[in-house]
Amino acid sequence: MHLPDPQDDGPDDPYPDFPEQFARTRRFSLGAVRAPSVSADGRRVVFLRTRTGTDPTSLLRLWQDGAERTLADPGDLPAAPEDPLRERTRELALGITAFAVDADCTLAAFALGGALWAVRTGDAVPFHVPVPGPVFDPRPSPDGSRIAYVSEGALHVVGVDGTGARALAAPEGPCVGYGASDHISAESMGRPRGHWWAHGGDAVLAVRVDESDVQLRWYADPFRPERAPRSAPYPAAGTANPRVTLHVLPLDGERVQVALPGGDFEYLPAAGWDAHGPFATVQTRDQHTLRTLAVDPATGHTRTVSERTDAHWVELIGGTPCRTASGALVEPFDDEGCDTRRLAVDGRAVTPPGLQLTAVHGTQGDAVLFGGVEEPTEEHVYRYTPERGCERLSEEPGVHTAAVGGDTVVLDSAGAHGRCVTLRRGDALLGELATLAEKPVPQPRPRLLALGERRLRCALFLPGGRQPREGTRLPVLLSPYGGPGMQLVRKGSGWQDAVAQWFAEQGFAVLVADGRGTPGRGLAWEKAVSGDQLGPALEDQVDAVRAAAAELPYLDLSRVGIRGWSFGGTLAAAAVLRRPDVFHVAAAGAAPSDQRHYDSHWKERFLGHPDEHPAHYARSSLLDDAPGLRRPLLLMHGTADDNVAFTHTLKLSAALLAAGRPHTVLPLPGETHLVRDPVTQRQLLRYERDFLLSALPAAAPQS
């Protein structure tokens, strides 16, 4: 198959500069407000943002009394190496990529260049705190007098003035450390941190992670053979997990180990320390049981305050558990009778059937702010109070989230007119945090559809955003993720919509479908992929394209392609391997091909333990399908990917080669699961487009 030079955009591309814009804006993420933290009195908001929509360096900013100003500019500070948190958090910017504040947002701490820095919001003069490094995840005490941080497996504490530095817990060999999260807790459980200050600032709650029994993965960079390979513990499905324990570390006094249940409870999805004391959640390896524990910091004894069970798995919801000012426990409640994940406060469901809980954003006294979905294409912010019940705070159709402090709410809203971040107190608008991100050219113009018997939520992108003239038939390009944890069909344009519209401008009708397993459609919809992640997801893509063509005669089912990344890449490859009668070409990026090689917590959630359910893994993997390839298939993968390892593409390519099936492999040297290099980003889009176009047959005449 001949591919034109991807550097040359043909005269038929009306937006030849889009790949360049996509790359220079880091997927349109630069210039956006990120990670807002609100003071306990609601007067100050500290956040990250770059100067412009193309400046890659994040600054630490402050909003106070209706005005913004810079707290710390990394350009004025020593140069910084790569931040190890960037991959786990999918961070594309440079500079200050993470920070933490005290309760009043009067002190912020961050690591830069392996050194510890802090800045007071009153004077906005960053200062270096002299401690040995490299420093990781620094966090001020609630009163701002001290900073806890991790360095080389030890948890340290130091006074803001640099005095009183000492280790609260030292590493116990190369495999045992304190205060930092492990891979699966950060990647699959949503717990990227590993230490929490006591509410009174006199102790720290910290994890101890023992990875002695976890298998090592070795990562070599074939693009730089002079560099030695590096190793990292990676608990693949069915293999040993790290042993995670929890400890109370007083600033003055003896360490206390928290009495976690142990045994089958291998996971620690959440922990924290609020005004009512420390707490934690523990989960069994089969993920059928999740317990919430209250901890006595003096003795380490625990008391079970809640237990959730599920025959498939207990879903983890961000921001839970937490407690209100009066001590009421806030957690999800899976109500199978009405197929709804509801918000429960003090053991009682307080949200109505049909409103799906997505996250808890915080509490205000005895009020709870949370995210909820009624229509799967929208997510709104709600407030529950015992006096007034549930009220919706966000108004415009779209996707909304929030940060909370005191009586102030920072509302982050994405809708048809872009993204805005507003500050509200009650019904009063206090101000707005400027959003400086560039608008994509072309602007996404999706048509939202509900297709087929299952009313699959779909977005259709057409050239120019218009129905083609009579007699024209368009090749169809499916562009799904299609798996657990992510929706793409939403009324809030993200970078995926911009890419879909650009592909549409190349002459495709681009169809994006959220099938079974994706969030926002109820408990049964999520759990429909239990034991088989791939079968229902692929069936829904087939149903979506056929239902769309039945309604829209300009869709040409003799020319159907599919593209995707990560789980979407697996779905794309499976489409041409298993359904060549429907799909004629696929471009699959970073696709897990052998599910046994993915991490234990994420993969066993849906497929169980591989020794107990080998058939679940076989039907959700691709290697046995290799002999069936009859269509063009492009495999793309970063050689340094530590999430979906490069071995997934190598194994699939080897199986295809052994079966004598031609295919194309595009390695991305030095790239991880998130492609960062701007040149690679823009050229990858063009290469993928050219591959898809060259593989599809000539246009079929309108019958």
Q: Is the pLDDT of residue 151 over 70?
A: yes
| Mean pLDDT on 48-56 | 97
Q: Is the pLDDT of residue 82 over 60?
A: no
Q: Is the pLDDT of residue 702 over 50?
A: no
Our measurement of the distance from residue 596's CA atom to the centroid of its chain's CA atoms, rounded to an integer in Å, reads 21
d(CA 265, CA 290) in angstroms, rounded, equals 9
Taking only the tens place, the pLDDT of each residue in 629-687 is 999 999 999 999 999 999 999 999 999 999 999 999 999 999 999 999 999 999 999 99
For the chain, give the mean pLDDT: 94
d(CA 168, CA 148) in angstroms, rounded, equals 9
pTM for the whole structure: 0.94
Phi-psi group of 355: left, alpha or beta (phi > 0 → left; psi -120 to 50 → alpha; rest → beta): beta
Q: Is the pLDDT of residue 525 over 50?
A: yes
Contacts 24+ apart (CB under 8 A), 282-285: 283/314, 283/316, 285/241, 285/600, 285/604, 285/609
Q: Is the pLDDT of residue 12 over 90?
A: no
Taking only the tens place, the pLDDT of each residue in 430-469 is 999 999 999 999 999 999 999 999 999 999 999 999 999 9
| Mean pLDDT on 473-501 | 95
State the pLDDT at residue 418.
87
d(CA 34, CA 28) in angstroms, rounded, equals 13
Using the CB atoms, write b or e for 344-383: b if 16+ within 10 Å: bbeeebbbeeebbbbbbbbbbebbbbbbbbeebbbbbbbb
Residue bearing the bigger pLDDT, 440 or 79: 440
Contact yes or no for 75/662 (Cβ under 8 A): no
Contact yes or no for 586/538 (Cβ under 8 A): no
Our measurement of the distance from residue 675's CA atom to the centroid of its chain's CA atoms, rounded to an integer in Å, reads 15
Q: Is the pLDDT of residue 530 over 80?
A: yes
State the pLDDT at residue 79.
57
Query: DSSP for 65-77?
Result: TTEEEEEE-GGGS
d(CA 342, CA 40) in angstroms, rounded, equals 27
Q: Is the pLDDT of residue 11 over 60?
A: no
Query: DSSP for 294-321?
Result: EE-TTT--EEEEEEEE-SS-PPP-BT-S
Taking only the tens place, the pLDDT of each residue in 203-254 is 999 999 999 999 999 988 888 889 999 999 999 999 999 999 999 999 998 9
Reduced to 3 states, what is the DSSP secondary structure of residue 618?
A: helix
Taking only the tens place, the pLDDT of each residue in 407-430 is 999 999 999 888 999 999 988 999
Tell me the longest C-alpha to C-alpha distance in the chain. 83
Contact yes or no for 646/234 (Cβ under 8 A): no
DSSP for residue 507: T
- 3.40.50.1820, 3.40.190.10, 3.10.580.10, 3.40.50.720: CATH of 439-695: 3.40.50.1820
Taking only the tens place, the pLDDT of each residue in 287-345 is 999 999 999 999 999 999 999 999 999 999 999 999 999 999 999 999 999 999 999 99
Sign of the dihedral through C-alpha 639, 644, 650, 653: negative
340 token code pair: 């709804």
Reduced to 3 states, what is the DSSP secondary structure of residue 411?
A: strand
Our measurement of the distance from residue 425's CA atom to the centroid of its chain's CA atoms, rounded to an integer in Å, reads 29
State the pLDDT at residue 8.
46
